[in-house]
Structure 1
Amino acid sequence: MANVEGYVIKVYIAQVTPLKKAELSVILFDDCDSPSDEIAMNPEPFGCSTVVVPITKMDKIGSDARIVKVKIRAGKKTTCYVDRIEVKSKYTNANFGVFCLVEYPNWTFAPDTDTSLPQNNNTESNKKRLETLQKTRKEYKFKKPDGLPAQVDKMPKEEKFSSQYGAEVVGHFIKAEFTKFLDGTFKHPKHTVQSLEDLTSLYGGVFNKPEGLTRWNLSNKQEMDLIFANQRINGLNPSVIQLCTDPEYIRKIGVSAETLKPFIGELTIEQAIGKKCLYICDLKILQNVRHPKKGFTVCAPIGLFFVDKKEGKDGRLKPVAIQLFQESAPYNPVFLPTDGWSWTIAKMWFNNADASYHQSITHLGFTHLLMEGVAVTTHRQLSQHHPIFKMLAPHFLFLIAINNLARSQLVNPGGIIDRIMNTGIDGCFELITKRLTEWRMDVDGTLPVDLVKRGVEDTTALPNYHFRDDALRVYDAIYTYATDYVKLYYKDSGDLEGDWEIQAWAKELTAKRDSKDGGCGLQGVPGNGQLKSVDDLITILTSIIYTCSAGHASANFAQYDEYGFQPNYPGLLQGLPPKDKSEHFEKDLVQALPVVKTILETMAITKVLSAKDTKSLGDFEEVPTISDEKALKIVQRFRENLAKVSKDIETDNANRKFQYTHVDPKFVPNAISI
């Protein structure tokens, strides 16, 4: 607390130029609208700048005033993005969210901390809210529809500047890691890998050994199969696997009970299905991708998996058959665990297809791009005083900025994804567009419903599905938080129906992307654009917050561990997948690997993307928009619930064969910031 004879002002800066001798002026106002003298500061970037104001600067206010408003102005040669301002004294402990660019000569009033629904305000307040929203809509315009999820047309200056440090750090990190690796430890990398041993020599110095390498042990084929199956339920793409309920589906891949007998025992296919022992990973959506990377093949495989529940077994999922393309044919055989190197190579090509699905759909399409449209709609339709804006703001931190960076370096023609994935960038966008026509918030975007849809909610039938178990814990904590928060402001459906801002928000979430002013075009939004039920709003908010936090974390932060060792989870494979079950060797696997430069580039980008640099879920210090005392108590309960979830996950991991930490709340950021 500040000395009773003065005030302490803390200004939190995201970015400021010049880095040295930047200038910022602050004026405080009390509840009688009396101003202090102008207070000079020299802010520093990326942190907090503090000034202790002597009482002599406060003559017009006095030492016992309550500060209710602040205005700020940058110096003539200074440009500054201010996140927030704290003012503390004997009688004041105020936190003012600014979140905007401050430039000379204009004074900028920090928005007060008022949180209100528009129908509860007077006419003058709502007039100001509307004027601000109209200005914001000019900044946050939707891009002309291109088949992808809704995106912002041009980077709003507030987003760009507030996030500039994050974007620059990432961009420089990518360049530094890759350049350092090529020019440092390995000055003359070989053009191609000659053996698996040759590949393992690439690690050390800049790049540690990823998990994919440390668990790679071809001398233990059963263990390798368990690891491959574990990737389906606890890897980067754990939401594709589904329960097999139809014997005809099994026949589609040309296997019989006799073929599978060495792997499923005496069970018939019908018995295995009845006991919920058979699971499918069907990547049919990759079939006939029209625009893959030129000269490369994209498989559309089907994988069959079996939960072994024999006496003494702990219900481990194991692979029993792989068909690399959809239609059974002589040149498209079914590979089995007894097929030696052919089986190992088939698993690698399966993972290459899974990687295409992961990067295109699971990661880029349905976290980054999908949530960008939601963020744009939130800015366009909700005042910064609206409680739902305040709730969602921390979960959009750096989202638009990182997507903007991605469009210029990662997902552009000739960019990184174009170079390191078999689909190439055109194939990637094609897959997103195709999947978008099917995606529904009330199914695909609602975790418990999605699990039931895929038939994988039964913990007894499919044990060791740690993603399911841990993600549900986080989802439930978010749902409880959303319930408590929403019901603080909406006592009944009448409050909801009378809130024209939230109704406009819901309408734009569902509005077609090619409508007059654009929209998100989301399908399956509860209420379908007209909110009448408080429960529907809770479900929508839970879906958004979960997707921006745990949903993205599960698809992102294991990238280096999975992609970092190319045979484990290859983004790019050369040549053709095996067309028969003739004898194959290690050289056939190695020949499918890309050139060393591509391998290094994959290692570099996935290492960067796996780094977490922002606050963990529930810690809203970076975007402290929630200020109501009762709401802050709800946030505190949320954090306590998340701490319990984290502890439970840590306890469970102590007894797991394959630990899973990627949705542990202490490792999950609030937002899609990388």
Structure 2
Amino acid sequence: MAGSGRVAGQSIQGLEQLDTMSNVQEGFVIKVHIGKATARFGRAKLIFILVDENDCTSDEIAVNPKPFDCSEVVVPMTQKKKKNMGSGTRIVSVKFCAGRTTKCFVKRIEVISKNISTNYSVLRLVAHRNWEYVPDPDTSLPQYNIPELKQKRQEELTDTRKHYKFKKTDGLPAQQVLTMPKEERFSIKYAMDIFGLFGKAQKRKTKKLKKLPDVKSLEDLKSLYGQVGDVEVVFDQPEGLTRWNLSNKQEMDLVFANQRINGLNPSIIQLCTDPEYIRKIAVSAETLKQFIGGMTIEQAIAEKCLYVCDLEILEDAKHKESCKLTCCCRCVPTPTVCAPIGLFFVDKKEGKDGILKPVAIQLFQDRAADNPVFLPTDGWSWTLAKMWFNNADAAYHQAITHLGFTHLLMEGVVVTTHRQLSRHHPIFKMLAPHFLFLIAINNLARVILVNSGGIIDSIMNAGVKGSFAIIRKRLTQWRMDVDGTLPVELVKRGVEDTTALPNYHFRDDALRVYDVIKTYATDYVKLYYKTSVDLQGDWEIQAWAKELTAKRDIENGGCGLQGVPGNGKLDSVDDLITILTSVIYTCSAGHAAANFGQYDEYGFQPNYPGLLKGKPPKTKTGHSENDLVQALPPVATILQTMAVTKVLSTKDTKSLGDFEEVPTITDASALPIVQSFRDNLAQVSKDIQTANYSRKYPYSHVDPYVVPNAISI
């Protein structure tokens, strides 16, 4: 993928040996790293003043940086004031501003004098004659700053809060006001890439739509992929298509079961521990026996072989209304959103470790004559029931697993971090790479994806209205110390036992990534907080923790998160580590697991349908392939789903641990910790790729090489 950097073997930003060291024998070298360069007229211009340890200053030094690149300028001694600023002098701060006709987004500055290289993290838009000041070291806890710097930090935070504000969310996660801070905008390059991808996908969809009739059979769907005449490859074949094989019903059942543990929504399945729970499903124990290896229900539960996926939260969820226009023959009646229960069994007589198989599906919660339990022996009715189950699973996935509890939930954390932590705070510097473009992508989504009548309304049964209703319901239950802490969440669902539930690659791989992130957070936090006194005396981090838990929708803002360790007051370093691990994991691997497999799943409509027409089956007989075809939406909707999920599945930013895009961590004492983080991620990546060679269904969505740092798409 464009922009993705291999984790293994890369050096830390700022530690590389510079070829320019020979240029500083009689002066200095300034290296400027530009992010979002925005020159009003022509090329951007920056003006620098260097300050040394004796408080001597240089003359103004002009630099014309290249957009999206690193530029350097050699500053010979002839440009210095004739004070004691020699080439061996240590530079302790930098003042800089933009030229008269330009604005420039500066990522990082390096000042090199002989054998001394000093890094300054900036990450802000610099305007004309608005002098910015960056000290060295520029990473510190507020209580240990000199009085002038304490005041400067407070002034910066006061100004930042004018731009980062919470808006009323009506029961949704806390969000930034619609006015987006300039620092949060896409870079020019990334914006061009994103809109280019959307434009290209739309163009491909239009080409296909002109050449294809309505789908008459499932076989017809295959013509949506590959070439049309001499036209370029429009949509490649997703995994969902390659695994969909109607001639092998048993294999299709295994694919369906695998979606529960390694699909887009792998955190619903839970161990069944109570025989009484099975009473929710209208099927006798005798009927189930043939599907659970001849065991009784009690035996299957005792041996930890029985698992359930219960989407009760979708019951009575409001969903989108039918189209009221009379001019469109393709209008779909008011869609149905099921609230199904699926029963699954680990057959330990098959496979090396055992194989998960689907046993029964009930499409609605209440037992009723018109709500039968579908079984693997029910032919086409069983296949149709699996499609409707996946349609409900897709509603949950998009509303909760993806949009609600990565994109929206983390937006509030981004806003809180900017409002309460100075740019010089070590925790701000740690979190900043994991917030890249999050607010920008959420704003874009509000315009084209989750707006009324937008894409989600077009391709999902629940639509925007239903999705937001589901998010509101789930938000009242979500807790960071449970749902946001992966090892605890796995135990809560009873799926932590690798022997009882084998081949759960999401669990196994994600846990390794989580542990690496926790080790990184532990080492980094303990570098700055030697004792609990350091933590308790840090008023910025205490304000941050307080706002994370403060009630939403109040005038002074609040993130409204439940279950945050410390509950708004940080006395324990371990609590801070847990919070940071949760946030970084969610913004990286958590989002990647929910996002980057979208085209492979949604890209073949019968495999994981976002939108189905008509009503779910009410009987177990009389169905045929035609019923599956009739449930599919029009070709235009299918192609729209393919186009959108293809774009959303594209990675275009750096891999987890590669902080080149947001190089905030420049403290020399922290750089070895970052390198260790990257080395550990590289090993996990290598192990996952090796394991995938022998997996029946390879899983790579939490491979650190694939996982970006942030929710940027």
> Which of 164, 169, 183 is the matching residue for 1:140?
164
Are 1:410 and 2:449 matched, yes or no?
A: yes
Alpha-carbon shift at residue 87 of structure 1 (Å): 2.7
The SS at the match of 1:201 is helix
Alpha-carbon shift at residue 388 of structure 1 (Å): 0.9
> Which of 327, 332, 339 is the matching residue for 2:371?
332
* Distance change (3 Å), C-alpha of 1:186 and 1:416: closer
Partner of 1:108: 132
Give me the whole-angstrom Cα distance separating, in 1, the residues matched to 2:414 and 2:66. 28
Partner of 1:432: 471
Partner of 1:47: 69
Partner of 1:181: 205
> Which of 313, 333, 344 is the matching residue for 2:383?
344
* Distance change (3 Å), C-alpha of 1:598 and 1:162: closer
> Which of 223, 230, 233 is the matching residue for 2:258?
230
Alpha-carbon shift at residue 123 of structure 1 (Å): 2.3
**How many positions carry a matched residue from both structures?**
672
Partner of 2:305: 277
Alpha-carbon shift at residue 48 of structure 1 (Å): 2.6
* Distance change (3 Å), C-alpha of 1:585 and 1:51: farther
Are 1:499 and 2:527 matched, yes or no?
A: no
* Distance change (3 Å), C-alpha of 1:408 and 1:24: same
1:468-488 Cα shifts (integer Å, max 9, x gaps): 011110111111111111111
Alpha-carbon shift at residue 639 of structure 1 (Å): 1.2
1:81-119 Cα shifts (integer Å, max 9, x gaps): 222222334243122212111222433334654211112
The SS at the match of 1:630 is coil
Partner of 1:99: 123
Are 1:445 and 2:484 matched, yes or no?
A: yes
Give me the whole-angstrom Cα distance separating, in 1, the residues matched to 2:44 and 2:187. 20
> Which of 66, 91, 104 is the matching residue for 1:80?
104
Are 1:10 and 2:39 matched, yes or no?
A: no
Letter of the 1:104 partner, please give it: H
* Distance change (3 Å), C-alpha of 1:244 and 1:549: same
Partner of 1:246: 274
Partner of 1:365: 404
Higher relative contact order (CA 8 A, sep 6+): 2
Alignment RMSD = 1.8
* Distance change (3 Å), C-alpha of 1:508 and 1:289: same
Letter of the 2:66 partner, please give it: E
* Conserved? CA contact 1:116–1:387, under 8 Å: yes
The farther-off stretch of 369-378 and 33-42 is: 33-42
The farther-off stretch of 365-374 and 251-260 is: 251-260
Partner of 1:56: 78
1:285-332 Cα shifts (integer Å, max 9, x gaps): 111112334311101110000000126653110101001111111111
Give me the whole-angstrom Cα distance separating, in 2, the residues matched to 1:656 and 1:376. 41
Give me the whole-angstrom Cα distance separating, in 2, the residues matched to 1:591 and 1:52. 70
Give me the whole-angstrom Cα distance separating, in 1, the residues matched to 2:570 and 2:109. 35
* Distance change (3 Å), C-alpha of 1:131 and 1:211: same
Alpha-carbon shift at residue 652 of structure 1 (Å): 1.8
Give me the whole-angstrom Cα distance separating, in 2, the residues matched to 1:45 and 1:361. 38
Give me the whole-angstrom Cα distance separating, in 1, the residues matched to 2:367 and 2:465. 28
Give the 5 Å matches for 1:246-265.
246-265=274-293
Give me the whole-angstrom Cα distance separating, in 2, the residues matched to 1:659 and 1:553. 16
Alpha-carbon shift at residue 20 of structure 1 (Å): 7.3
Give me the whole-angstrom Cα distance separating, in 1, the residues matched to 2:321 and 2:412. 28
Are 1:209 and 2:230 matched, yes or no?
A: no
Partner of 2:495: 456
> Which of 8, 26, 34 is the matching residue for 2:56?
34
The SS at the match of 1:321 is strand
The SS at the match of 2:534 is helix
Give me the whole-angstrom Cα distance separating, in 1, the residues matched to 2:104 and 2:64. 11
Partner of 2:516: 477
Alpha-carbon shift at residue 124 of structure 1 (Å): 2.2
* Conserved? CA contact 1:395–1:545, under 8 Å: yes
Alpha-carbon shift at residue 493 of structure 1 (Å): 1.6
Partner of 1:199: 221
Alpha-carbon shift at residue 640 of structure 1 (Å): 1.4
The SS at the match of 1:318 is strand
> Which of 677, 686, 693 is the matching residue for 1:654?
693
Give me the whole-angstrom Cα distance separating, in 2, the residues matched to 1:426 and 1:640. 44
Task: Give the TM-score normalised by structure 1.
Answer: 0.96
> Which of 33, 57, 69 is the matching residue for 2:93?
69
Identical-pair percentage: 71
Give me the whole-angstrom Cα distance separating, in 1, the residues matched to 2:495 and 2:441. 33
Alpha-carbon shift at residue 260 of structure 1 (Å): 1.4
Give me the whole-angstrom Cα distance separating, in 2, the residues matched to 1:37 and 1:162. 34
The farther-off stretch of 30-39 and 621-630 is: 30-39
Alpha-carbon shift at residue 153 of structure 1 (Å): 1.0
The farther-off stretch of 70-79 and 623-632 is: 70-79
Give me the whole-angstrom Cα distance separating, in 1, the residues matched to 2:596 and 2:185. 26
Letter of the 2:483 partner, please give it: D
* Conserved? CA contact 1:293–1:418, under 8 Å: no
Alpha-carbon shift at residue 230 of structure 1 (Å): 0.4
* Conserved? CA contact 2:520–2:677, under 8 Å: yes
Partner of 2:625: 586
Alpha-carbon shift at residue 524 of structure 1 (Å): 0.4
* Conserved? CA contact 2:320–2:466, under 8 Å: yes
* Conserved? CA contact 1:16–1:78, under 8 Å: no
1:424-461 Cα shifts (integer Å, max 9, x gaps): 10111111111000000000000010000000001111
Give me the whole-angstrom Cα distance separating, in 1, the residues matched to 2:289 and 2:297. 10
* Conserved? CA contact 1:27–1:35, under 8 Å: no
* Distance change (3 Å), C-alpha of 1:362 and 1:590: same
Letter of the 1:328 partner, please give it: R
Give me the whole-angstrom Cα distance separating, in 1, the residues matched to 2:131 and 2:343. 64
Give me the whole-angstrom Cα distance separating, in 2, the residues matched to 1:516 and 1:9. 44
The farther-off stretch of 363-372 and 481-490 is: 481-490
* Conserved? CA contact 2:121–2:665, under 8 Å: no
Give me the whole-angstrom Cα distance separating, in 2, the residues matched to 1:193 and 1:49. 55
The farther-off stretch of 230-239 and 248-257 is: 248-257
Alpha-carbon shift at residue 657 of structure 1 (Å): 0.9
Task: Give the TM-score normalised by structure 2.
Answer: 0.91
Give me the whole-angstrom Cα distance separating, in 2, the residues matched to 1:202 and 1:312. 35
Give me the whole-angstrom Cα distance separating, in 2, the residues matched to 1:162 and 1:90. 36
* Distance change (3 Å), C-alpha of 1:270 and 1:80: same
Alpha-carbon shift at residue 280 of structure 1 (Å): 0.4
The farther-off stretch of 76-85 and 314-323 is: 76-85
Give me the whole-angstrom Cα distance separating, in 2, the residues matched to 1:45 and 1:293. 47
> Which of 287, 293, 308 is the matching residue for 2:315?
287
Alpha-carbon shift at residue 546 of structure 1 (Å): 0.6
1:601-624 Cα shifts (integer Å, max 9, x gaps): 111111111111111111112111
Give me the whole-angstrom Cα distance separating, in 2, the residues matched to 1:161 and 1:94. 28
Alpha-carbon shift at residue 19 of structure 1 (Å): 8.2
Give me the whole-angstrom Cα distance separating, in 2, the residues matched to 1:487 and 1:105. 39
Give me the whole-angstrom Cα distance separating, in 2, the residues matched to 1:111 and 1:372. 29
Give me the whole-angstrom Cα distance separating, in 2, the residues matched to 1:79 and 1:200. 50
Letter of the 2:125 partner, please give it: L
> Which of 321, 344, 360 is the matching residue for 1:321?
360
Alpha-carbon shift at residue 202 of structure 1 (Å): 0.8
* Conserved? CA contact 1:167–1:405, under 8 Å: no
Give me the whole-angstrom Cα distance separating, in 2, the residues matched to 1:209 and 1:303. 28
Partner of 2:568: 529
> Which of 407, 417, 435 is the matching residue for 1:396?
435
1:564-613 Cα shifts (integer Å, max 9, x gaps): 11111111111111111122111111111111111111111111111111
* Distance change (3 Å), C-alpha of 1:467 and 1:77: same
The farther-off stretch of 650-659 and 84-93 is: 84-93
